[in-house]
Structure formats: structure tokens, C-alpha cells
Chain A
Amino acid sequence: MNPEIIYNTYPGLAWDWRVAMDLFLGGAGVGSILFAVFVDEFFQGKYRRIRQTAAWMSPILVTLGLVFLLLKLGRPFHAFNTLINFNPHSPLWWGGIFQPLLVILGVMYARKLNNIDEDSTNHRTLGRILVPLSIIVGTYHGLLLAINVSRPLWNTGPTVVAAILGFITTGIAAVMLVHLIRMKLAGRLDDGDHFAKFIDDMKVVRNILVGAILLQLFTFFLWWLSLRFGVLTDRQALALANEHYGPMFWFLGIGMGLILPLLLGGIAILKGEEKDRRLQVVIIMVTSFLILFGGFFFRLAVVLAGQLSLPLNPLL
């Protein structure tokens, strides 16, 4: 109340849930393509199907994300302007260039994986090109927020790290969920041997996932630290964010999206020899869903909270 400061600016939100959707879907897309390449590189010849699922999902997810982004644009039909102009300072420009590229190369890669008899070196080369490309896109998702000096909540290093870890967790979760559905539809889950093999194969993925979640939690902790003990505007931004979007971030994003999956994953690790396949499937599905659910809401909370107007620093 005292001092009372009034600065009436235009009340509309610049970025809303559609931007969060783009970050979320794009992130999952980046994660899934990396997953496909990873499996292809390190488990040669194995897991053909999960690799296929992952490779196809990437262009679809990234495209969906782009659609949401386009829907947010004031003039979506002018989006081609991004392609014919050059501004390397702008993360959005990088996004505009590299996301479509990722989609195109992703489709090409997925098509190659469809036919495994084709020259394997060829698709490996494409896969290796896709790695840096998807990391650029993933980093873009972080930088899009992090470069804004005007937004203390975003303007931190952990913002970028969180985005990168975010694409790992949501990418894997998305692949697992979709792959399970795919298997189910194909009737393969009912085939006992096949399923045992699948579960076994999932272990390494699950371990990566648990590791990424732990890192993600640590990153959020660092993010919090840097704001909590940062300059005045950092502290104000954190307080304001917690006031308005605290429940969304901490409960939906962290609680349901990271902690709960971690517990479930832990249970799965501890009970690794559990033979109740049905339960295992349920755990995998629930965990994946929670990670995706939380992954969206942490992004939404961050996108919205970062735009809250801070109290203005009086002119010195």
C-alpha cells in the first residue's frame, strides 16, 4: 500500500497457455527424437519398434507445438517472415528456423527407420545430425524465456537447464506412454514373452528417467536459490510468482510431475523383479502420464508467472 505505485499498462497477457503448449510439445518432440537416436546408437538392432515410435512422435509433437505457437501469433499467415529475415539474437527466430527443420529431418529419419533393411550408415548419419539440431531446439526453449532481462523469474541459467532436462523427462515419458498404447493396440502386451522382454528393456529407460528427474529437481532447487537470494527484483519476482502460481508450480508441476513419478519409479526399481505385469504396466503408464501432466503445468506456471508485473523501482 505504501508507497502506492500505479502504472497502467495494457492488461492483456503477451504469452498464454499456447506458448506453454509449444514449449511442452516441442520439448517432448526433442526428447523423443533424441531417445530414438540413442536407442539406435547404443542398442543396435534391438527395440526396433520403440525406436520407430520415438522417431515418428518427434515431428508430430513438434508440429503440434508449432501449431499452438501459430495460434498465438497475431498474424499466423505472416509467420513466413521469420524465414526470410535474419535475427540471430532472437531465440524465436532460431525456433522459427530450426523447429521446421527438425520436423522435416525427423520425418526423413523416421521413414528410414521404417525400413531397417536400408543402408544403416545412412540413417545413422541423419541421426547424428539430428542430435545437435534437437539440442539447439531444446536450448531455444530455455533461451526463449531466459534471455529476457525484463523478466527476472526467467532470466537465469537454471531456466535453460530446466528446459533441457524437461525435454528429456517429457520426451521419454511421451515415448513410453505412446509406445505402450501402440503395443496394446497391436496386441503385443498380451504376448507373455514379448512383454517380459519389453519390461526388461524399459529398465534402462526408467533409470535414465529417474536420473533426469533427480537432476531436474536439483535444477529447480538451484533456480529457487538464485531467485531467493538474488537481487531485490529476483526476490520480488519469486514472491509474486509463488503468490499467484505457487500451487500450480509446486503442486502440479513439481509434486505430481516429478516427486510422484520419482516415488513410483523408485517402487518400480525396488520391486524390479515383481512379476505382476499388469501392475508394472499401470505404473509405467501412470508415471509417464504424471510426468507429462506436470511437465505442461510447470511450463504454464513459469510462462504466466514470468509475466506478472513487478512493482516498479522508483526512479533513483
Chain B
Amino acid sequence: MGKVQYCMVIDLEACVGCSACDIACKVENNVPASFAWSNHIIETVGKFPDVKYRYIPTLCNHCSNAPCVAACPTTAMHKLDNGITMHDPSKCIGCAACRIACPYDVIYFNDKEPLVREEFLEPLIPECTSSQPGIQKKLGVPVGYYNPEREATLPGIRPRGVVEKCTFCDHRLAKGLPPACVEACPANARIFGDRNDPNSEVSKVLAKNHARVLKPEKGTEPNVLYIGEF
């Protein structure tokens, strides 16, 4: 058997556009509210009353021919053996060449202190309510729901000055768990696995369905594929 190539198939027919994936991703990966490793495109077409609406979930495509990896001057953005496009913040200089190179706008740049909300710096009602520093002091974490398991392969939160993006939840894969968005999807619209393994569910689904990718003309060879109509 050849090497592993992780891939995600999103069944738009099953997807109901609820955004549970987007939120669960933030929970799992300690992603700032203004970023969206897991994101979506929304399309409304037609005139009343003949209106169609589509919701297309997006995330890093973990392209086999990844422009972000090519553009990175320090190899901070790199490919893993299993096909994941991974980022190493310790090498990142924050040049944003990857953001420029990515045709899908899925790479985010920490231009502020991550997870810090100015709104929450002081207590709302003195002595009666808390504040973000208050919660940090009490719980010893940046936000109450901070997930320390993310630290296995990335800084728990990414420092100011570096980029960040979806990692296919590599830290969960290492434990035999699916990416957080896959688990969170109540419609079971996301199928994840090794497309090089003919017996994997993704391979079977891909064999049966006409799969499409975003911006195929860019030649990026995405590993996030779409089947069905929303």
C-alpha cells in the first residue's frame, strides 16, 4: 500500500448549512472568533419566488500541489507524509506569502494578540462580574474553554505575528479520532479518510460520485472534495 493521503469529502446534499462545523473547529483548535479555519460560502441565486440558496463549507484544501507551501520562504508551511499541509509557527516569519498564494483564502494572520477581547479587559459591573484577565487568573488558561489537547502538535494558541490554518485536526488523527468538524457535523455530511486506501469510505464515496473541487483551474489538486447538490 502506498502512502497515506488524507482527504475530506463533503456531501452537499446532506449539509444543511448549520455552521456547527465552523464553531466546533474553533472550540477544538482555540481559534480566535474573527478567524474561521472552517468556513463557508453562501450563494443566493434567482428572483423571488424562484430562489435557490447554497451553502458550501470550506476549509484548507490540503492541496497536493499547495501554492502556500511553494510560496513560504522558510518552509514553515510544509507537507506531511500523510498529505496534510501543516504549518510550523516556530519557523514562521509572518510574511503572509502563503496568504497571498492561497486561492481559497483559508490562511489567517495573527495581527493581534490572539483570543484577547478588548471588551472583556475590565469587569462589566465592578466586583460583581468578571473579566477575561479574571478568568485567566482563576483558571490559568487564556479562555475558560481552552483546549489543551491542541498543544500536542501546535502552540495551543498561535502567537501574534504568525499565520494559522486548518490542520485536518492532525492531533486528533494521531489518536484515531476524526477532525472536529467531521465529528460535529449533525448531518454526517463530512467523510474523512485516506484516498489512497481503496477500502476507505472516502475512496468508495469518490468512486460512486462525481466529485468536484473549488477552483480546479488553479491546478492546486485539492484534497477537499464535494459531492451532491445542496
Q: Which residues of A contact B (CB under 8 A)?
A: 2-10, 12, 14-15, 72-76, 78-79, 81-82, 85-87, 89-93, 95-96, 147-151, 231, 233, 307, 309, 312-316
Contacts and interface: CB of A to CB of B under 8 A. Distances in A.
Contact of B35 (A10, A91, A92, A316): A10
Contacts of A90: 70-73, 97
A86 to B, nearest CB: 7
A312 B101 contact: no
Contacts of B47: 2
Given A10-B109, A12-B109, A87-B74, A148 B41 contact: no
A15 B94 CA distance: 11
B103 A150 contact: yes
B75 A85 contact: yes
A151 B102 CA distance: 9
A149 to B, nearest CB: 5
A95 B56 CA distance: 38
Contacts of B39: 7-9
Interface of B: 12, 34-36, 39-47, 54, 56, 58, 67, 69-76, 91-97, 99-106, 108-111, 160-163, 212, 214-220, 226
B103 A82 contact: no
Given A75-B94, A90-B72, A7 B108 contact: no
A309 B76 contact: no
Nearest to B161: A74
Contact of A92 (B42, B97, B218, B226): B97
B74 A93 contact: yes
A15 B43 contact: no
B131 to A, nearest CB: 26
B41 A93 contact: no
A75 B161 contact: yes
A112 B219 CA distance: 49
B214 A315 contact: yes
5 contacts: A10-B34, A10-B108, A87-B70, A151-B100, A315-B56
Nearest to B104: A150
Contacts of A151: 100
Contacts of A12: 109, 111
Given A7-B41, A151-B100, A74 B92 contact: yes
Contact of B103 (A2, A5, A149): A149
B108 to A, nearest CB: 5
- The list of the 9 closest CB pairs from A to B, nearest first, reads A74-B94, A74-B161, A150-B103, A92-B73, A93-B73, A3-B45, A75-B161, A14-B96, A9-B105
Contacts of B34: 10
Contact of A5 (B43, B162, B217): B43
Contacts of A91: 71
B210 to A, nearest CB: 10
Contact of B43 (A4, A86, A92, A149): A4
Contacts of A75: 92-94, 161-162
Given A2-B47, A10-B34, A87-B73, A150 B41 contact: no
A247 B105 CA distance: 27
B100 A74 contact: no
B75 A92 contact: no
Given A8-B39, A9-B106, 5 more contacts: A10-B36, A85-B75, A92-B71, A92-B95, A150-B102
A149 B219 contact: yes
Contacts of B69: 89
Contact of B95 (A73, A231, A309): A73
